[in-house]
Amino acid sequence: MNTVTRLEHATEVDQPTTPGTETGTPATGVAVPGRAAPVRGEAYTVGRVDEVPIGEGRAFVAGGVQVAVFRLRDGSMHATQAACPHAGGPLADGQTDVDVLVCPLHLYAYRWSDGSSTSGAAPVRLYPVHQAGGEIVVEV
Amino acid sequence: MTVTDSRVLGGRRTGATTLHLDDELDLRGRLVVVGNGMAGARFVEEVLERGGGEQFRITVFGDEPHGNYNRIMLSPVLAGESHEDEIVLNSHEWYADNGIDLRAGVPVERIDTAAKQVHAADGSVTGYDHLVLATGSYSFIPPMKGVRDDAGELLPGVYGFRTIDETRAMLDAVGRCRRAVVMGGGLLGLEAARALQGHGLHVELVHAAPYLMNMQLDPEAGAILKRSVESLGIAVHLDVFATEVIGGDRVRGVGLADGRQLDADLLVIAAGVRPSSDIAVRSGLEVERGIVVDDQLRTDDPDVYAIGECAQHRGSVYGLVAPAWEHAKVLADVLTGTDPDAEYHGSRTATKLKVAGVDVAVMGVNTPERDDDEFLVISEPKRGVHLSVVIRDDKLVGATLLGDTRKVAFLTQAFDRGAPLPEERIRLLVDLSDGVEEVGVAEMPADSQVCNCNGVSKGDICGAVADGCSSVGAVMDRTRAGKGCGSCKSLVKQIVEWAADGELTEDPSASWYVPGIPMAKPELMAAIRQQDLRSVSAVFAALAPGGQEDAKSKMGLTSLLRTIWGTEYVQENDAKFINDRVHGNIQRDGTFSVVPQMKGGVTTPAQLRRIAEVAEKYEVPMVKVTGGQRIDLLGVRKEDLPAMWDDLGMPSGYAYGKSFRTVKTCVGSDFCRFGLGDSTQLGIDLETRFQGIESPAKMKLAVVGCPRNCAEAYVKDVGVVAIGDGRWEVYVGGAAGATVRKGDLLATVDSPEEVITLAGRFMQYYRENANWLERTYDFVPRVGLQKIQQVLLEDSEGIVADLDEGMQRSIDAYTDPWGQDGKEPATPGQFRPSLPLVELPKVPVR
């Protein structure tokens, strides 16, 4: 076995200062270190609602988990795992309507109702998401 | 190859690097698989396909040092028909690329189920949350005097036939040996016998049962097979045990129970396999013939599972690969939560193979078992043909085809799905037509790949039909067959029609421009113009059933609205595919490619210098010359795109859109000794005029200065060829992609200006009349060259002025997207990373 290159995950200290990649803070207001394990059911404020244009998705990090948050044209908001179960494609770059989200890489589609795939892939994980005072709150 | 060949099959290339997650951050469950054969590796593949890579940290132990290889293919390797490299299914690299810790060549010794730890021979202790045993089978070595040396190893010259190492050793020995005895007249023994005979050895086959392949065939079929094998020159000894290996230090002969002795300097033992259950026994799991599992492949320990040949399910142990794959699917469903209630209820085994040069297909039972079973046999010993079917309650419960497998496709279908059987049972075995043989899709094996782009097999397509997809469109949506390059669509259609057996429904959406709006393109365009619909959401609201938007229709509608309205189209970013949102082509890891415009494939030192500097500054993993005579910067992070465009200071080359892309040129008349026209300048002029206009599918053009066609103009959507005296031929509908088609000569014109006018007219006619994603090579034959000539050259429909005007509107609407969005993002976060925790690019800098 040859040596392998180990890549560090982005963390609070070394990640690029691109807006929107902050790790998120729990809605309770307690700061979470960059490498904290996601707490199941813990709610995190990940960013402002207006960071996500209507009809599109944007990726955030909620307590160490990368999520894609979408605002649909019917006014609803949804959050899913950021990577497509099929080949790891960036779901936030996908196209959506009120029923399904389509991954840009190979056009696998997933239902917003339950995360199941319409095209034979494994289901995506959906996370509860809501807005509070103009902020996006995701539970992971 | 030598017996000491220790090359790792499917090993990693020297210097290959891998990306690994930081263990400290790894919050995933621990999934450990013991066994890296066909079942174990297939299970891992199924888990990854269900997104299990995100749920689990996967460790795979394998006794052999190799990657996963196709054990079924060892016979062709032994026969010299396949190279061993061809049988690798998952190389070490594949495991590394998928973040799987492969411990190849590390046998597992025992499992501590209480502590949930795996103890391996290298002293390592690995914890698990879920453990899957996929230890397979081992060659059964019957008790024979002298078969092992004092150390307990097989005597030199005696080989099992189950691993690549054993196969290599036999290949090494065939050059030194003259006479081989093969023990076992099952499938493997027959294949070994045939392979060794092919290497010039004299081969004798010893089989303990009264007839060959007794596990699969009935005695009559076995007898016919024996004749076929003997006619190949292989001696067959039936109903006799081999009791002794003669030789002492190496094999010199084989003693049979009836006192006969066969000379041999090579002995292959293929007398069956036994489930490898030692680890399970040592670990206190319940083991009978195999490791006992329930309908979810769970052993008597709730966190330990067993799949493949080592597992015993409802009393059955399987020695075939198909059940192992079914196990893998069910267990992956269960463990990933895709279907927590998935169950395996046993396999109906069907095999189709060529054994010792004879076609054999066997499914279900081979003889009647009940009084009212129907049994039909056609036996032609002279021709080596024996066909039989067993029918119970009007359903096919078994079939045996030996020497003639023409009906296997239909029978397999009838067996698998309980399809209705013909009243005249004889039709199950022979065609009673006028002698015309059924050929085509029915005869394709289920695993033959139909769609190469998306890896869809005939079996997948038939499966979708069986699951209730009743139209070609529905099958294509379900399987994604035909959704890649599209070159397999007609074959997909044939298979669907065959599998649906006349139960096909007409696909109403086949004629629609996009799936979400039930209108053909002309009707849709008329409605858009009439109702003044200028945005995609307005189109959905006005024309879609229930005003319902449809994600898969958005891209086609965006293209159409831009074609119709030009600058007056109301842009909505969510209606664009990601490529059009960020003006780059998305790559497999979520990075993008950047292709600056290089009109006519002509560049300058200053441009090259800038591209080189930008590539270095942004650490671009790969700089590549494209087929379209441009330079591609691959692996660019989305967030780097605007700054990169700014540094380049060049317009977009549109290498990502369903649009006019590029014009290739040859060196024309400036430099070429043979040039008849200034193709380089004409290419640049064409690209300047039509840059970036959207179209139903991508458009690639070329201009060549003479018929030598150095820039491949004959196979472009629009191709222009100089023929001398200032004249140019304009070809349309050419292709050299998945489809290769020489373009049709639309017209010969007298000046570059006329070329530009005619090309524009043709492209506008195509833009207005082609279906979404219909390339010109389909459009031109569909409409017909003659009609296109009448419309464009004779103005038969009086629309030429409109076409020119429509094209001009689009040209006037052109803005360089890089210049525009590079300065001011179109939407908030337009260039934000979409996988914030994944370090991109994944491809290292070359």
Residue B767 confidence (pLDDT): 95
Q: How confident is the model at residue B791 (pLDDT cuts 50, 70, 90)?
A: very high
- CB within 8 Å: B54 and A107: no
Query: Which residues of chain B neighbour A2 with C-beta distances below 8 Å?
Result: 12, 14-17
Instruction: Say what percent of chain B tops pLDDT 90.
Output: 67
Quote the DSSP letter at residue A37: P
pTM, two decimals, is 0.54
Mean residue pLDDT across chain B: 89
Minimal C-alpha gap between A113 and chain B (Å): 15
Between B469 and B558, residue with greater pLDDT: B558
Q: Does B588 touch chain A (CB under 8 A)?
A: yes
> If DSSP states are collapsed to H, E and C, what string results for B145-184?
ECCECCCCCECCCEEECCCHHHHHHHHHHHCCCCEEEEEC
Residue B409 has pLDDT above 80, yes or no: no
Residue B433 confidence (pLDDT): 52
In this structure, of A64-68, B464-468, B807-811, the range with the lowest mean pLDDT score is B464-468
Q: How confident is the model at residue B16 (pLDDT cuts 50, 70, 90)?
A: very low
Residue B485 has pLDDT above 60, yes or no: no
Alpha-carbon radius of gyration of chain A: 15
Residue B408 confidence (pLDDT): 73
Cα B760 to Cα B743: distance, rounded to the nearest angstrom: 16
Interface of A with B in 46-105 (CB under 8 A): 50-61, 64, 66, 68, 73, 81-83, 85-102, 104-105
- Tokens 């993008």, residue located: B592
Residue B413 confidence (pLDDT): 66
Q: How confident is the model at residue B655 (pLDDT cuts 50, 70, 90)?
A: very high
Query: Which residues of chain B neighbour A4 with C-beta distances below 8 Å?
Result: 17-20, 96
Nearest CB to B833: which of A59, A98, A101? A59
Q: What is the mean pLDDT of residues A78-85?
A: 96
Minimal C-alpha gap between A49 and chain B (Å): 11
Residue B2 confidence (pLDDT): 42
Q: Does B15 touch chain A (CB under 8 A)?
A: yes
What are the pLDDT digits (tens) for B761-774?
999 999 999 999 99
**B845 phi and psi, to 5 degrees?**
-65, 130
Residue B80 confidence (pLDDT): 83
Query: Which residues of chain A neighbour B19 with C-beta distances below 8 Å?
Result: 4-5, 7
- CB within 8 Å: B574 and A92: no
Residue B322 confidence (pLDDT): 78
Kindly identify which residue of chain A lies nearest to residue B455, measuring between CA atoms. A106
What are the pLDDT digits (tens) for B158-182?
999 999 999 999 999 998 999 999 9
Q: Using an 8 Å Cβ cutoff, are B594 and B583 in contact?
A: no
Residue B482 confidence (pLDDT): 76
What are the pLDDT digits (tens) for A17-53?
333 334 455 444 333 333 334 445 789 999 999 999 9
Minimal C-alpha gap between A29 and chain B (Å): 22
| Burial label, B351 (beta-carbon count in 10 A; 0-12, 13-18, 19+) | middle
Q: Does A117 touch chain B (CB under 8 A)?
A: no
In this structure, of A37-41, A89-93, B640-644, B724-728, the range with the lowest mean pLDDT score is A37-41
Residue B147 has pLDDT above 80, yes or no: yes
- CB within 8 Å: A93 and B578: yes
Tokens of B156: 């030199």
Residue B451 has pLDDT above 50, yes or no: yes
Residue B300 has pLDDT above 60, yes or no: yes
Nearest CB to A119: which of B477, B555, B575? B477
Cα four-point dihedral sign B41, B42, B44, B48: positive
Q: Does B452 touch chain A (CB under 8 A)?
A: no
